[in-house]
Structure 1
Amino acid sequence: MVGSRMENTKKRYKELFREYISSHDVDDISMMNYFHKLFEECDVKKNKKFYRYRPFNEYTLTEIINKKIYMSKLSDFDDVYEGRYLIDDNDIQRGVNRGLIDVCNDYSQKHIRVTCFSTDKKNIPMWYYYANKHTGICAEYKFEDFSFPKNVVFLPVIYPLRREVSEYKYIPNVRQRGFGAIVNSLIKQRAWSFENEWRAIKLDESSDPIYLSLKMSKIHIGANASKESIDVIKNLIDKNGLDIQIGEMTMTETGIESFSLGSIPQEYKIKI
């Protein structure tokens, strides 16, 4: 029953997404109303949890202490097509303005800021790629702690089979540069669907670093993390009086699981 409700929610979200991007009424002034309406269709409950996979380094430790998350530019991401408008021969034949596309792509790369979340703390590819082969952490956040500014969009990513010819393809006009930039930041190639990603997105034309205020509720430490890394995190939490629980990931017969720190059953203590 729950699975069916979730599928219906996803279907409705995608339907509205297609409806909004095909509307000629959307412009950069009214765009936030559309994105907030989309969010209302996502059925995010107050007990929903989101996760960020992080390597063990000074930047991650700073995030823990300061309760802030850095919002990256699209040009910093590992997907070379991130947020870009993709056109094909049919678009060229229809007279799509290549110059406008180049201008919009440049605008998106410079002025869209993104923070990425996953809905799964047991995602092995994510542990491998973004938490440095299980030596980093997976930070857990409770949705009830989210208090994003109104100019921040928070929505799930859509993964069409072929982004360049999908029904989610979007070509902006001159009034929709900002709206189009956010839309394209929510569409990724199907190859990335394993990430189960939600994104916090902000359009900002300044060059200043941008952060979101958000505290971690729990830190899941990777199955291959060193004792030294664990000790550093424990001491950091204790020294700064942070209300953060700690879990340890380990391999089980059915996949990786998180246990309270120091409570992993002996038979599960297998390094990945």
Structure 2
Amino acid sequence: METSEQNMIYMNDAENFNDPFDCLGVWWDTSILKDISEKQGLNFSVDYLDDHMDVMFKNALTPLKITCFSSELYNLPLWGNYAESGSGFVVEYNFRELNIDSEFTKYLYPVIYREEREDISKVLKLLFEVAVKEQGEFHPLLRLLFYKNLIKHISWSYEREWRLLFLENDNHVKLPIKPTAIYITDRCNEGNEDCLKLISQKLNCDLIRLTPTRNNKSFIFTEALVQD
């Protein structure tokens, strides 16, 4: 709650995520590495290049911090998985308020859901043609290393996830916008609700309670503004 009170978000490390394939959404045919080695005159074995590529992709995660959002407020599995079985809370933001030049706009992307990992063999071969010539911020392989973090298996598609990806030393980042609302369910205990009331007042946003509707055939919530 302290992070929310300060209008900050927690940027996690990919290795802590619950998906074993997280940030590993691409693959390459190792045979393409032989062509790359011969064309570039590298004289390295396929195994060496494959290990080198694997290390490079893993090292690219080391400085990367990620925060995950969802465009779906009423997703029941999300409440169960990420909000302490519904006893936690959800903070809502309207990122359309951000300026096009905001760093948050530049590095906020929707997750791409696939049945299979993306084959980057041909792209990798093309990139190596210029990779030996280009260095620094605009090195072409950097774009590929960034893209791989946005691909997940289709079984996760129910999350409708967006990701904010920063190269940060700190795990906490200040948001340039304030929440539009904070949501709780009827499972939130009284102590946490009182704390969230104070936080919502400080951030000038609504605190809304979601209660399962009892007399409706649909699985829907009833929304009610939590009053002082």
Q: TM-score, normalised by structure 1?
A: 0.63
Give the corresponding residue for 1:176: 140
Closer/same/farther in 2, CA of residues 169 and 132 from structure 1, 3 Å limit: farther
Q: Distance in 1 between matches of 2:10 and 2:141?
A: 24
Q: Distance in 1 between matches of 2:32 and 2:144?
A: 19
Closer/same/farther in 2, CA of residues 176 and 210 from structure 1, 3 Å limit: farther
| 1:192 matched to 2:177 | no
Q: Distance in 1 between matches of 2:169 and 2:223?
A: 41
Q: Distance in 2 between matches of 1:94 and 1:168?
A: 6
Closer/same/farther in 2, CA of residues 68 and 168 from structure 1, 3 Å limit: farther
Closer/same/farther in 2, CA of residues 131 and 99 from structure 1, 3 Å limit: same
Secondary structure of 2:151's counterpart equals coil
How many residues align structurally?
196
Aligned partner letter, 1:242: L
Closer/same/farther in 2, CA of residues 64 and 249 from structure 1, 3 Å limit: same
Q: Distance in 1 between matches of 2:219 and 2:172?
A: 36
| 1:248 matched to 2:209 | yes
> What does 1:1-272 align with in structure 2 at a 5 Å threshold?
61-84=1-24, 86-87=26-27, 91-95=29-33, 97-146=49-98, 148-149=102-103, 152-163=106-117, 165=119, 171=124, 173=128, 174=131, 175-202=139-166, 204=167, 207-213=169-175, 214-238=177-201, 241-252=202-213, 253=216, 254-262=218-226
Percent of aligned positions that are identical: 25
Query: What is the RMSD computed on CA atoms of the aligned residues?
Result: 2.8
Gaps of 5+ in 2: 34-45, 132-138
Q: Distance in 1 between matches of 2:66 and 2:3?
A: 16
Is the 8 Å Cα contact of residues 212 and 219 (structure 2) preserved in structure 1?
Answer: yes
Question: Which of 1 and 2 has higher RCO (CA within 8 Å, sep 6+)?
Answer: 2
Q: Distance in 1 between matches of 2:172 and 2:89?
A: 22
Q: Distance in 2 between matches of 1:259 and 1:211?
A: 30
Q: Distance in 2 between matches of 1:108 and 1:151?
A: 21
Q: Distance in 1 between matches of 2:105 and 2:95?
A: 18
Q: Distance in 1 between matches of 2:205 and 2:81?
A: 24
CA shift, 1:170, in A, is 6.5
CA shift, 1:151, in A, is 8.4
Closer/same/farther in 2, CA of residues 262 and 73 from structure 1, 3 Å limit: closer
Aligned partner letter, 1:93: S
Is the 8 Å Cα contact of residues 85 and 101 (structure 1) preserved in structure 2?
Answer: no
CA radius of gyration, larger in: 2
- The C-alpha deviation readout for 1:49-104, integer Å capped at 9, x for no partner, is xxxxxxxxxxxx1222111112222122111211125436xx12333731232222
Aligned partner letter, 2:23: G
Q: TM-score, normalised by structure 2?
A: 0.74
Secondary structure of 1:84's counterpart equals coil
Closer/same/farther in 2, CA of residues 164 and 144 from structure 1, 3 Å limit: closer
